[in-house]
Chains A and B, each alone.
Chain A
Amino acid sequence: MAGQEQPRQAPGFDQLDPFNLRKAQSCIHCGLCLEHCPTYRETGNEAASPRGRIYLMRAVAGGRMGMTQAFVDQMYLCLDCRACESACPSGVPYGQLVEAARGQIERNRRRPWWQSRLRQLVYAQLLPSPALLALAFWPARFYLALARRWPVERLLPSRLRALSELLPREIGAPFWPAHYQQVPAQGQARRRLAFFSGCVMSFALPDVHRVTLQVLARAGCAVETPPEQTCCGALAVHAGERGIARALARRNIAVFEKLGVDQVVVNSAGCGAMLKEYGELLARDHQYAERAHRFAHQVKDVSEVLFELPRPPMRPLPVKVAYDEPCHLQHGQRISAQPKQLLQEVPGLELVKLPGADRCCGSAGIYNLTQPAMSQRLLAQKVQAVQDSGAQVVATGNPGCILQIRRGLRQAGSPIPVVHPVELLDQAQRGT
């Protein structure tokens, strides 16, 4: 226990971006969320549970303790998966609370200079810039070509290896929004939509974007993809970099407002959940608060949009599919029935039962890089469940989960592919 900090000497919460104690106090300590929390189930530690974490936040907010290392550890061991939110009968907005607490941590605790610099670089410069991302993915492709031939992965330091394992083995050409500014509807045009393409996904899973536009077009949507859009800011918010996230949010709002469409469609659960929370993120920005709310209401997951539209003809796709619920879709946006229903309607497609489909796979943004041990434990359970389910394909609507589960299955030597649900719809519609 040597070197332990004195709880009260660590910095407390500031008033710059005030922590909403009232919201934290809507937690009445009933404990009904406990079993839903992956980190509690794994550790049995109440401090690693939603109720415990909220209790700690309240203790800091009330001046009982400061933001000690143990506090920081628990805030970052949290996956921000928000399973606890769905479970909570009192409606405690846990995601907002933990994100605010991380903001407090990043503003008030000092990190080593290189870490602060790296965070700035990644969240404020790399992710928002397609050009830099393209540059970053260039060596990645080169590296993958190498890795396909030689076991270079083993030579990497562990963090980099984890990153490398997450890369898909084959990456298609990047998705450049400028090439898809206007995609017309096929047949009768029913809706005009804008497409949010985000940051990393355009490089890591570019084909999912292309397929999404196709599927939307077949459903009668004319889709615009504004090239000036930028990263949604979710990764920044998860990392407590709220200032950076706000800047990105303002830019996205301004860009999409100009298009004058009714809906903004997104195919990444993580981005969708973030975009839908712009209202909260910018609540104290007088210029943007209202616009942010309006924008947030326009955002729709691709499954929500497709669900409302007539289905194009499909050919049979006889395959057993395990649907895995992305946390930021089922908990963050409360969407679960629509994607499953869409898949179920594909002739020949059989949805198999995937026990624990509602449990986090350990991807959680970049959690798999920052908390590799916990992430691996959750991933191992997911992989086991998939293998026991008898599924031939896994479908899940979030890029992080796709990459994470792919990596897990690959490590386990399983050939089961992991795809986005729209890819299966596309296949059935094309009949190939």
Chain B
Amino acid sequence: MDHTKLISDLIRVVGQGAVLYRPEELLVYEADGHTIDKAAPRAIVLPSSTEQVSQVLRYLHQTGIPFVPRGAGTGLSGGSLALENGVVVCTARMRRILEVDIPNLRAVVEPGVANIRLSQEVGHGYAYAPDPSSQAACSIGGNVAENSGGPHCLKHGFTTNHVLGVELVLPEGEVVMLGGKAEEYPGLDLRGFVIGSEGTLGVVTKVMVRLVRVPEAVKTLLAVFDTVDSATRTVSDIIAAGVIPSALEMMDHVVIQAVERSPVAAGYPLDAAAVLLIELDGPPEGFDWEMAQVREICQRHQAREVRVAKDDKERALLWRGRKHAIGAVGALATAFYTQDGVIPRKRLPELLALVADVAKRYQLTIGNVFHAGDGNLHPLIVYDANDGDAPRRVQQAGGEIMAACVAAGGSLSGEHGIGLEKREYMPLLFSGADLAAMAQARAAFNPDGRCNPGKVFPTSTGCGEVGAITKPGVLPAVA
């Protein structure tokens, strides 16, 4: 289709300034938080309402043009990349909080609202619980699409546990409501189907979320260890003892270096092999017992130090480092690639040993920062963006780690999604019949596959070939 006509037609729907098409603008949309793969769209549309989204999708349906929803573009699996030279439908202008209903503990937001803003605006001791580390920027719509988690999801649950309903614009332009403001709806749980569907079913245009009371009391501890092993054993033992911390996070030596060299330095000891950030919350009564348990277990595993945050300020400082750990790797290197495998907790020690071995064999630096309580690893491979060979090594190393997670009885992804980046690994986890069933379900919403094509499902070609899946951008590719 004629490009100029496409642009002017889109402008007619959403207005001048809400369609981006200059080559420089297309360029900046060629990647998200995952930078190894790149694909530039042919245009970006910035609608301001459900109505506009619907009109845009209807138009794209009539003209047969593929599209991909995008929120803030902090995704770590290339989910918002426009393959097949599609159009990006970005929610960055849909950022209104439509309703906050504290008596009924719920709120209605547009998808472009940044996660943290919702809790900030709700205030008064209430909050939206899921807290991905990217919460300062990532959108609620993106969270829904990825079923995002965060440090506090160990006790409080993932996005799916906090979303009551979504308004979805189907790839042909129809607007549907799945779930709603009430706690429970009969019939098929299509709300649940959309959460975690990675933008392959349509564009989410409203989200009804549950609000929670901020816990009455919170204690945050930092436990410092001289070996990674003792840290991971501590994790298993804490859970085994029946304590459910609200967060149980681990950072290893490499990540501590990144954090402490960056502006978000949190005072983690530079010579530690690993630190655990442990948080307990709830009514103050049960606390003393839990605290005593946690301390005792840390000591049993030779924790060198157990630091308890004295006040909110110290607590915020301890968390600052963890929350920004991935973002701080720029202090160590010029590019990163993070894995997201999930494993049974008690296999943590052997998996971390494997990660260390992979790092050595591929001559890469790999740090570990992860939701230890969930067994959700984030091996953080840092490398030099100027090293042309690095992406190949990085992806091969990542592939080995993923395969090991699955072999250990785990899964490919805990919260970052499959997207483009992990799609070729899906057969490790699912049979052909499993995948076909998923594809059929997707087709009920997205019959011609124009909505976010090329994601989640493997292509017929081999496994994780670098560069094979990405298209050259509008501009010549130079590192």
Contact = CB atoms under 8 A, between A and B. Distances in A.
Interface of A: 1, 4, 7-8, 22, 25-36, 40-41, 43-47, 49, 51-52, 55-56, 59, 62-65, 68, 70-71, 74, 87-92
B327 A44 contact: no
B264 A63 contact: no
A31 B112 CA distance: 14
Given A7-B475, A28-B336, A89 B264 contact: yes
Given A44-B46, A44-B90, A30 B25 contact: no
A26 B475 contact: no
Given A31-B73, A35-B117, A90 B25 contact: no
Interface stretch (B26-34, B200-208, B364-372, B446-454): B26-34
A56 B28 contact: yes
Interface stretch (B16-24, B218-226, B421-429): B16-24
A26 B21 CA distance: 28
A313 B202 CA distance: 65
B28 A46 contact: yes
A95 to B, nearest CB: 14
Mostly, the B contact residues are loop
B33 to A, nearest CB: 6
B28 A35 contact: no
B329 interface: yes
B459 interface: no
A51 B327 CA distance: 12
B74 A63 contact: no
A55 B124 CA distance: 39
B134 interface: yes
B258 to A, nearest CB: 9
18 contacts: A4-B23, A8-B476, A25-B334, A28-B330, A31-B137, A32-B134, A32-B327, A33-B137, A35-B114, A44-B90, A46-B29, A46-B92, A56-B27, A64-B27, A68-B24, A90-B329, A91-B263, A92-B330
B28 A55 contact: yes
Contacts of A74: 24
A28 B24 contact: no
A63 B478 contact: yes
B262 A70 contact: no
Interface of B: 4, 7, 17-18, 20-25, 27-29, 31-33, 35, 44, 46, 72-74, 90, 92-93, 95, 112, 114, 116-117, 134, 136-138, 262-264, 324-331, 333-336, 385-386, 475-479
A56 B29 CA distance: 11
A35 B137 contact: yes
Contacts of A51: 28
A1 B137 CA distance: 32
Contacts of A25: 334, 385-386
B39 to A, nearest CB: 14
Contact of A29 (B31, B117, B263): B31
Contact of A44 (B93, B262, B325): B93
B79 to A, nearest CB: 13
Given A46-B29, A56-B27, A28 B327 contact: yes
Contact of B335 (A28, A52, A63, A70): A28
